[in-house]
Every structure is written in C-alpha cells, then in structure tokens.
Amino acid sequence: MDMITKLWKPSAQPKESDVSIQEAANLLREQQVVAFPTETVYGLGADATNESAVKRIFEAKGRPSDNPLIVHVASIREVEDLVTHIPQVARKLMERFWPGPLTLILESNGTASKNVTAGLKTVAIRMPDHALALALLKAAELPLAAPSANRSGRPSPTKAEHVRQDLEGRIAGILDGGPTGVGVESTVLDCTSEIPAILRPGGITKEDLEEVLPEVKIDPALTGKDTPPVSPGMKYTHYAPESPLWLIKGEDEFFRNQLHELQEEGYRIGVIASNELAEKLHHDFVLPCGSRENLTEVANRLYEVLREYKKSDIDLILCESFPNYGVGAAVMNRLTKASVKIIEQP
C-alpha cells in the first residue's frame, strides 16, 4: 500500500472551484480515500455509497470492518437519500445543531454501502461545521463515509501533521486546514429508540441536547462495565498513546504522591494535567492541557498531548481526571478508553 500522498493547503475560505478541492473531489469520485479537516478531528473520507471505496478506508486505518462509519453530508436534503424517514426529533436536532458535532443514528434505506453500516439497519449521519469539509462534500457531490484519520487504536488527528504521521503513503491525499476546533469527535445520538440515547459523548453535550429534547438517555454501555456495547466502536482499544497511560482520580496531593512513589521505583514518568496541577508539580515532564475551568480548551488539546510523549523517553503517563460534565464527559470517555489502569483515591 505504498502510494504517493498528495498534500494540499487550500485557503481558509475555500471555494468548490479551487484546484485543491477539485483534485481531492476527483480522487474521491475515483474511489480513492482523502483526509480532510472537520470542526472535531480530521476525517478519512470515501464515497459512502461505494463498497470498494469504503474498503480502502478500513485498509488504510487497519480498522476492523465490523465497526460502522459516520456518513458526512453538506445538506439536510442529502439525508433524505440515505434514510427511510427523518423522525420529527431528528429534524429538530438538525435545525438546531447542524452543521456541528452531532451525529444522528437513523434508519438506513440501504443507500449507504453495507461496510459503512457494518450490516446494521441504521446509519450514522452528520453535517460537519467546517468550510473545507463542506466545500469538498459539495464538489464531490457524494456523501462521504469518514472515520477519524488515524491508524486504528491511535489518538485521533487534530492537525494535518498527525494524519501524515499515521497515514502517509497509505492514502491518496490530505487537505490541510490547520488545527481543528472542538478536538474530540462528534456526539453520537441514537434517534431510533423512543428516548434518544447518547452512544458516544462529544462536542454537543447532554446539556445542549436537553435544551431541545424533553429527555435524553445515556447508553448503559457508557457507564456500566459489563453491559454489551450498542455502538460497535465502543468495544475497541482507542486513542492509545505510545506509553501506557494511568488515569488518576483524586485530589492534587494524591496525584503528587502517586507521581513521587512511581518515580522512586525508577519509572520515567510523563504527566498530563490541568494548568493548575501542572504548576504545583515541579516535574520535568509535564504537558499542561488547559485550565480546569475551561474544559473546552482541555478537549481541544487532548489528542495532541496524547500523541506527544514518545516511548523512547517515557515509560508511563500519569494523567489527571477531569469533571464529567459538559464537554468534560467526552474528555473522560476518551481518557478512560486510552488508559490501561485507573487509580482512585480511597
């Protein structure tokens, strides 16, 4: 799978007619895969209606193909081509939150290829809030299946450089739109159950959804340990940094004690912490990821700091835990999956 990966850097206000957008769109029509920025993370796109194009996504990522993908569209009109019907609640959510980091699970009409839906009767759809993504979707005139543009198991890419690290030589091209905004993936909301259910917390928070919906459930698989996963993506190791990550739940003093004990045992430790804790630690390897008071900033920095520590320098990463509300729920969901161990203050 050794190919030349084209790198384009379009203007910040791209037009469908730009050469870079046209080249990328043409490659997509030729069943190639192209990475592009969205407001959450970079996606790896292919024609969602074409099975062999979608197969290339799984090959490039090394991702198991029983894990369904999100279909990206540039208008609500295109959703109608993909689903049996649009329920009232879903329409309300699209009007309020699209374009934006909210993915809706709806009943598929079979137009999305079966390796997009992993054989399910449902399909995941969202409209990204990013000028480049929207220009590409319009130029290609295709719905694009796009998972995060990382090698399977790695932290999701929030910069074109991260996509290159993981996929250069394995995909046809990368559209560089600079760093993404939200930093964690979209919220996945199942609209086929009577009460809509969050299958993956993300950029649109439960609190945001409650402004529009009378009731929102959180899928039990997100909280419980032994309930079988509804969203197949939930069961794989995800977002893993190079060195094992331990998540520490407790006060700052507890964190500091854990750090010192492990250091005394001879481990080379990298710390990921809020600005507030980072300042107190006086440790050589600390990556601050924003203020505790600003979980939006923490979400934005998260994947980048997870990529930063290299196993040649660090044996173990100790990471602070964050409040589990607002976009903090998405941060904690990803950190829990990225960790191999959770240490809780007694």
Binding residues: 40, 63, 67, 72, 122, 126, 146, 148, 156, 186, 200, 239
Rounded CA separation 114/213 (Å): 31
Contact 164, 80 (CB under 8 A): no
* Tokens 């024609």, residue located: 47
**Per-residue mark of binding to ligand TXA, 107-146 (x: CB under 6 A):** ----------x--x-xxx---x-----------------x
CB nearer Mg ion, residue 148 or residue 187: 148
Rounded CA separation 217/196 (Å): 6
Rounded CA separation 14/296 (Å): 26
**Per-residue mark of binding to ligand TXA, 14-43 (x: CB under 6 A):** ------------------------x-xx-x
Contacts of 285 (CB under 8 A, 6+ apart): 268, 269, 270, 271, 309, 313, 314
DSSP 234: G
Least distance in angstroms from the C-beta of 122 to Mg ion: 18
CB nearer ligand TXA, residue 188 or residue 198: 188
Least distance in angstroms from the C-beta of 345 to ligand TXA: 30
Closest CA to 128 of 140, 117, 144, 112: 144
Task: Say whether residue 231 binds ligand TXA (CB under 6 A).
Answer: yes
Task: Say whether residue 185 binds ligand TXA (CB under 6 A).
Answer: yes
Stretch that binds Mg ion, among 73-81, 83-91, 143-151, 250-258 (CB under 5 A): 143-151
Contacts of 266 (CB under 8 A, 6+ apart): none
Rounded CA separation 14/16 (Å): 7
Contact 207, 225 (CB under 8 A): no
1 CB neighbour count, 10 Å cutoff: 9
Contact 25, 139 (CB under 8 A): yes
Pick one of 115, 117, 148, 300: the residue that binds Mg ion (CB under 5 A). Answer: 148
278-337 binders of ligand TXA (CB under 6 A): none
The entry of Mg ion, ligand TXA, none near residue 45 (CB within 5 to 8 angstroms by kind) is none
* Tokens 């917390």, residue located: 201
The entry of ligand TXA, Mg ion, none near residue 233 (CB within 5 to 8 angstroms by kind) is ligand TXA
Closest CA to 146 of 166, 116, 169: 116
* Cα angle value 194/123/83 (rounded, 5°): 80
Least distance in angstroms from the C-beta of 11 to ligand TXA: 21
3-state per-residue secondary structure call for 9-27: CCCCCCCCCCHHHHHHHHH
CB nearer ligand TXA, residue 99 or residue 288: 99
Least distance in angstroms from the C-beta of 106 to ligand TXA: 9
Pick one of 183, 201, 233, 241: the residue that binds ligand TXA (CB under 6 A). Answer: 233
User: Alpha helices of 214-294 — where are they, by DSSP H?
Assistant: 220-223, 252-264, 275-281
The entry of ligand TXA, Mg ion, none near residue 140 (CB within 5 to 8 angstroms by kind) is none
Least distance in angstroms from the C-beta of 56 to Mg ion: 16
Stretch that binds Mg ion, among 62-70, 91-99, 141-149, 243-251 (CB under 5 A): 141-149
Which residues carry a binding-site annotation for L-threonine?
Answer: 40, 72, 122, 126, 146, 186
CB nearer Mg ion, residue 50 or residue 148: 148
Single-letter code of the amino acid located at 198: I
Task: Say whether residue 70 binds ligand TXA (CB under 6 A).
Answer: yes
Contact residues: Mg ion, CB under 5 A: 148
* Binding footprint of ligand TXA on the chain (CB under 6 A): 38, 40-41, 43, 67-70, 101, 103, 105, 117, 120, 122-124, 128, 146-148, 185-186, 188, 199-200, 231-233
